[in-house]
Amino acid sequence: MPDVATLAASLLSGAALGTLFFGTLWWTVRRAAVSPRPALWFGPSLLVRIALVTGGFYLAGDGTWPTLAACLAGFVLARVAVLRIGGTHAS
């Protein structure tokens, strides 16, 4: 079982990854909305975001389920924070 410091570091790493993922998704959507070719924004952005998050989870997760769970929890918390800060426009 990892110690508390390792779990806290994994939680913060997950929050950073989530902020990066959802922040760049928000940025991509805003750019693609005014672009004549939105697929050129969404395709590469998706590949880069997934590659970064997968690599980050691999490094931060440390191969044990408690650290992976903490990293995932940080990722989900970042999603909630980005939605609250950025607002939602869904009806």
Average pLDDT over every residue of 57-82: 91
Span 6-33, pLDDT tens digits: 999 999 999 999 999 998 998 999 999 9
Helical axes 65-86 vs 39-61, angle rounded to 10°? 140
Is 89's pLDDT higher than 80?
A: no
Task: In whole angstroms, give the CA distance from residue 47 to residue 59.
Answer: 18
> Where do the structural domains in the chain lie, given as residue ranges?
4-86
Span 42-66, pLDDT tens digits: 999 999 999 999 999 999 888 899 9
Whether 82 and 23 have beta carbons less than 8 Å apart is answered as yes
pTM of this structure: 0.86
Predicted local confidence at residue 91, as pLDDT: 39
